[in-house]
Amino acid sequence: MPQIPDLINDPRYRNEVGWFLHRDKYGPRDTFDSYGAERIAWSHLLLDEVLRYAGRDIKWLSDKTVVSIGCGCTGELAAFPAPVKIGIDPLLYVYQKLGLLLADEAGGRTVYLSQNAESLPLLDDVADLIVCRNALDHMPKPALALEEFRRILKDDGVFFASVDIGGEPTPDEPTVFSVESLRVLLDEHFDVLTFSDGHEPHDGFRVCSTRVVARKRSGLSQKRLDREMILRAYENSSEGWSICQRLMKETGCSYEEAMTRIHRAESGTRGVG
Ligand SMILES: C[S@@+](CC[C@H](N)C(=O)[O-])C[C@H]1O[C@@H](n2cnc3c(N)ncnc32)[C@H](O)[C@@H]1O
């Protein structure tokens, strides 16, 4: 079950969620009929920006997996015509419970995971495109998050980020980047293809914002598992293969029957042999 943090007393979460509720209630209705319409317009702007920075056209997305990290409830992938879309944010369950999630307009549906970026429940090499807009400085441990971004990004995948620079730490924006500190962190995991600063900040009290396009750095160590070692351990274990073999030999039963009896014995319902 996803967690719901203390939204009344913890300023970190109250500020994040309060901002969206405020925008929903008091947003610019002279420009947009609803917060939903405003967010769809923002998703189109983000789509244009990502494709422009990545040097791709919209057809590129037609068979891609896109992961948006720190996606908030802005439905930022709503307009992306990609078949697989995943949104990750620790407050997604809260946004759902508050009726703040936005329906998709294009492509497959977005699957939402209510989860921190520092430990992603995704396999290696799944994402063709990772989008992280105005979220890296909201994370307490951005170095861990970037390590995870690299892990889930395909070798030829694209990482797009938009990150604010400067200002003071706040409860909901605990990490303050300088242009240099952001570059150092990115270089640990990525080959940075584009890095531009001087953009208008997402948050008024930050100094400016950056746009980043990067590819995962190759040659960094990947977690490996030793199949042979695990198989040997299993075959040598008293509970596993050796009991199965003995049962098959002694009773003439099949492999499936022997394994069923072992599993029954393990769960305490019946003895083996
Ligand atoms: C300002 S919102 C940005 C939302 C959206 N990306 C946008 O640009 O409109 C920042 C989001 O980062 C999320 N966030 C905070 N800590 C995070 C973490 N450790 N991992 C992933 N997302 C996090 C917050 O919950 C919040 O929804």
Distance 203 CA to ligand 1 centre (A): 13
Q: Which of 21, 41, 45 is nearest to 33 (CA)?
A: 41
Band of pLDDT at residue 269, cut at 50, 70 and 90: low
Residue 240: predicted pLDDT: 67
- Would you say 80 and 43 are in contact if contact means Cβ atoms under 8 Å apart? yes
Closest-CA residue, ligand 1 atom 26, reads 72
Whether this prediction's pTM lies above 0.85 is answered by yes
Q: Is the pLDDT of residue 226 over 90?
A: yes
Closest-CA residue, ligand 1 atom 23, reads 70
Ligand 1 pocket: which residues have CB below 6 Å? 16, 69-72, 74, 76, 89-91, 116-118, 133-135, 138-139
Sequence spans of domains, the chain: 11-216, 227-266
In 224-247, which positions are buried (b, 16+ CB within 10 angstroms) versus exposed (e)?
Answer: eeeeeeeeeeeeeeeeebebbeeb
Select from 20, 89, 97 the residue to mutate for testing ligand 1; criterion: most ligand atoms less than 8 Å from CB.
89
Select from 138, 139, 148 the residue to mutate for testing ligand 1; criterion: most ligand atoms less than 8 Å from CB.
138
Closest-CA residue, ligand 1 atom 9, reads 74
Query: Average model confidence (pLDDT) for the chain?
Result: 93
- How many of the other CB atoms lie within 10 Å of CB of 30? 5
Name the CATH code of domain 11-216 (choices 1.10.357.10, 3.40.50.150, 3.40.190.10, 2.170.120.20): 3.40.50.150
Closest-CA residue, ligand 1 atom 22, reads 70
- Would you say 63 and 55 are in contact if contact means Cβ atoms under 8 Å apart? no
Q: Is the pLDDT of residue 271 over 60?
A: no
- Would you say 42 and 32 are in contact if contact means Cβ atoms under 8 Å apart? no
Q: Is the pLDDT of residue 40 over 80?
A: yes
- Closest ligand 1 atom number to CA of residue 13: 25
Secondary structure of 193-252 in HEC code, one letter for each residue = EEEEEEECCCCCCCCEEEEEEEEECCCCCCCCCCHHHHHHHHHHCCCCHHHHHHHHHHHC
CB contact set of 143 (below 8 Å; sequence gap of 6+): 185, 188
Average pLDDT over residues 190-206: 96
Strand intervals (E) in 17-99:
65-69, 84-88
Q: Residue 85: beta bridge partners?
A: 66, 110
C-beta contacts of 224-233 below 8 A and 24+ residues apart: none
Q: Is the pLDDT of residue 123 over 80?
A: yes
Q: Provide, rounded to the nearest whole percent, the portion of the chain with pLDDT above 70.
A: 97
Q: Is the pLDDT of residue 173 over 60?
A: yes
Distance 70 CA to ligand 1 centre (A): 3
Distance CA 218, CA 216 (A): 6
